[in-house]
Structure 1
Amino acid sequence: MSVRQTPLTCHGHTRPVVHLAFSAITESGYFVMSACKDGKPMLRQGDTGDWIGTFEGHKGAVWGVALNRDGTKAATGAADFSAKIWDAMSGTEIHSFQHNHIVKSVCFNSNGTQLATGSNEKLIRIFDLERPDADALKMAGHESNLRHCAFFGDKCVVSCSDDKTLRLWDINSAQAVRKLEFPCVVEDIQVCYATRILTLTYGNIVAFWDLDTMTLIKEFKVPTQVHSASLKPDQSIFVCGGEDFKIYKYDYNSGVELDAFKGHFGPVHCVRFSPDAELYASGSEDGTLRLWQTNVGKNYGLWKCVQGTVAENGKGSDLSDLN
């Protein structure tokens, strides 16, 4: 008999959760950060979902979040035309970068010395965090609003936009070196440094591309409009979610659907594997962040505890058997 999936439900947001990001594994474990239209991004312990803190300061919906590798700094991009850098330990704002339109995406480079932002100005900006008052490098070429941008190494950035293209940028020349066109908007991208694979979603397709050659490796159809997907680093499975409220798990090699978990009460906007791949997180229109076990039933994180509420004030996590 199969074991039921019992997600951890992280409450506290009051509007849709639209993006999330994990840190790497640190001496204190790892962390997960959520972006929400309520304008109050939250930081949590990654394996339990326990609330650590809320970053207060934006005056509009927060669309994108990022954590540096050791979880000491956080970045946010928001509808108040700003991207902010935060001390993730204290919640203090370190610097605010003003833009001329909504900032949809933020991303640190591998050593946390640069920040890339993508905005509705159709621009990608690269900020030097060691010289935050210096002018940003600007990369122009997209013909519509940016959706996401991500570093690939420290010399390249990959981006997707409402113009139905994906572009690879060389930071030294500030020029796009590759442009890929799609039949509809690419809604999500994720760079995996270990495998050098780019995961992307558009329409009802989850696709995997070789970032070194920018060639398609494989793609699969999903039974819904899919908003986000994440590939397990060992390339055994991938997970995705979209309009039908479900979280899907697929075999990466065969494309066979392994599971379809119910739980959210609204479309799934974002899904990502944790750095140890023991769980994956999802954020939804329903205002919750949920953590799901990769290997259901394994003694790990908060799943070691007795089922029930484990935090107070609506900001912690609870074990909800919603499958």
Structure 2
Amino acid sequence: MAGRRVPIVCHGHTRPIVELNYSQNTPEGYFLASASKDGKPMLRHGENGDWYGTFEGHKGAVWACVLDTPALKCATGSADFSARVWDACGGTQLHEFKHNHIVRCVNFSHASTRLATGGMEKTVRIFDLEKPEAEPMKLPPAAVGIRSVNFIQDDKTLLCAYVDKPGVGVYDVRSLQQVQTLKTASMATSVEVSFDQQYVTTAEGAYVRFFDATTLQQLKEHLLAAPAESASYCAARRKFVAGGQDMWVHLYDYDTGQELECNKGHHGPVHTIRWAPAYDAYASGSEDGTIRVWFPDGGSEVRA
């Protein structure tokens, strides 16, 4: 149909893709970082999916891959017991932070001066990137592994989701103490903070919930027909996307929860999904090793 954009299929990874993250908009456009069990985190052009490069050095599966606010640095977390920070422009490694177990998650502060890490060691560390040799701050040990870490509220607060445990821990970065728990129906497999730092979105199996990032009050929840492993919210369109074990990528109306589109193409469960910062597309990563970039009201797929 005229005027419709067909989805883009991005190849390159050889094993399942477990995390995707877009950068913010920059003067050079925006970018897409991908983490895969093949141990080869990649950087792509955010708008067309073109491959820019691979960050070489990890010796195990890479579970996390994220860009800082100006998209000048990329952080990765791996099964090789390390978190690393890379020059996103040249691809060279800037820092390596060794851990005692698998690193499942990494995230930059919004100001790009700190890096939070977590994983199967059950400890969240916060590194000062302006003093990378200094000992990191640590949150109190958790009872289970850490699945995700996200800074909010001008980097004063850190959200921590867990492996095999419901709830999202809310920590004061200044005191390093837990101050609240966001209740979830089951473990939160995905926690997203919106580009404007206004919303938090969680995927909890059959439920997707939305919170005000300033007050942490729940705004809305939807019970989905197809359980979601990952979800992403677009406030500008009042729509959200979700994907999971059914291998399909679903677009929903935020206000009603009505399914608007069901995109088929992946040949394995969808592990990660995120809106682009221009909110004109969203990307999904799957067990099948491919990234697909979808456009609302899009048609059939093409391969890139």
- TM-score (norm: length of structure 2): 0.94
Q: CA contact under 8 A between 2:32 and 2:45: conserved in structure 1? A: yes
Take 1:27 and 1:74, find their aligned partners in 2: how far apart are those partners? 17
How far has the Cα of 1:124 moved from its partner? 1.1
Take 1:4 and 1:245, find their aligned partners in 2: how far apart are those partners? 23
How far has the Cα of 1:185 moved from its partner? 1.2
What letter corresponds to residue 13 of structure 1 in structure 2?
Answer: H
What letter corresponds to residue 69 of structure 1 in structure 2?
Answer: T
Take 1:58 and 1:96, find their aligned partners in 2: how far apart are those partners? 10
Q: Please list the CA deviations of residues 135-167 of structure 1 after superposition, one character each: whole Å capped at 9, or x if unmatched.
A: 000002531111111110211111100222211
Note if 1:218 corresponds to 2:220.
yes
Q: Which moved more, 1:195-204 or 1:126-135?
A: 195-204
Please state whether the residue corresponding to 2:283 is helix, strand or coil: strand
**In the alignment, which residue of structure 1 is the partner of 2:111?**
111
**In the alignment, which residue of structure 2 is the partner of 1:131?**
131
**In the alignment, which residue of structure 2 is the partner of 1:17?**
17
Gaps of 5+ in 1: 298-302, 309-316, 319-323
Task: Classify 1:146/1:239 alpha carbon distance in 2 versus 1 (closer, same or farther; 3 Å).
Answer: same
How far has the Cα of 1:224 moved from its partner? 2.0
Q: Please list the CA deviations of residues 103-125 of structure 1 after superposition, one character each: whole Å capped at 9, or x if unmatched.
A: 11111111211101111111111
Take 1:60 and 1:69, find their aligned partners in 2: how far apart are those partners? 26
Q: Percent identity?
A: 45
Task: Classify 1:112/1:250 alpha carbon distance in 2 versus 1 (closer, same or farther; 3 Å).
Answer: same
**In the alignment, which residue of structure 1 is the partner of 2:161?**
160
What pairs up with 1:1-323 in 2 under 5 angstroms? 6-152=6-152, 153-162=154-163, 163-192=165-194, 194=196, 196-234=198-236, 236-294=238-296, 296=298, 318=304
How far has the Cα of 1:43 moved from its partner? 0.3
Please state whether the residue corresponding to 1:190 is helix, strand or coil: strand
Q: Which moved more, 1:163-172 or 1:263-272?
A: 163-172
What letter corresponds to residue 262 of structure 1 in structure 2?
Answer: K
Q: CA contact under 8 A between 2:261 and 2:297: conserved in structure 1? A: no
Take 1:160 and 1:235, find their aligned partners in 2: how far apart are those partners? 27
Q: Which moved more, 1:205-214 or 1:277-286?
A: 205-214
Q: Which moved more, 1:137-146 or 1:102-111?
A: 137-146
**In the alignment, which residue of structure 2 is the partner of 1:313?**
none
Please state whether the residue corresponding to 1:169 is helix, strand or coil: strand
Take 1:20 and 1:193, find their aligned partners in 2: how far apart are those partners? 14
Q: Please list the CA deviations of residues 219-278 of structure 1 after superposition, one character each: whole Å capped at 9, or x if unmatched.
A: 112222210000013251000100000000011111111011101100000000111111
Take 1:77 and 1:212, find their aligned partners in 2: how far apart are those partners? 28
Take 2:168 and 2:144, find their aligned partners in 1: how far apart are those partners? 12
Take 1:268 and 1:24, find their aligned partners in 2: how far apart are those partners? 23
Take 1:286 and 1:4, find their aligned partners in 2: how far apart are those partners? 26
Q: Please list the CA deviations of residues 274-320 of structure 1 after superposition, one character each: whole Å capped at 9, or x if unmatched.
A: 111111110000000110113537xxxxx9xxx96xxxxxxxx52xx
Take 1:184 and 1:173, find their aligned partners in 2: how far apart are those partners? 28
Task: Classify 1:199/1:224 alpha carbon distance in 2 versus 1 (closer, same or farther; 3 Å).
Answer: same
Q: CA contact under 8 A between 2:19 and 2:35: conserved in structure 1? A: yes
Take 1:235 and 1:168, find their aligned partners in 2: how far apart are those partners? 28
Take 1:159 and 1:195, find their aligned partners in 2: how far apart are those partners? 16
How far has the Cα of 1:183 moved from its partner? 3.7
Gaps of 5+ in 2: none
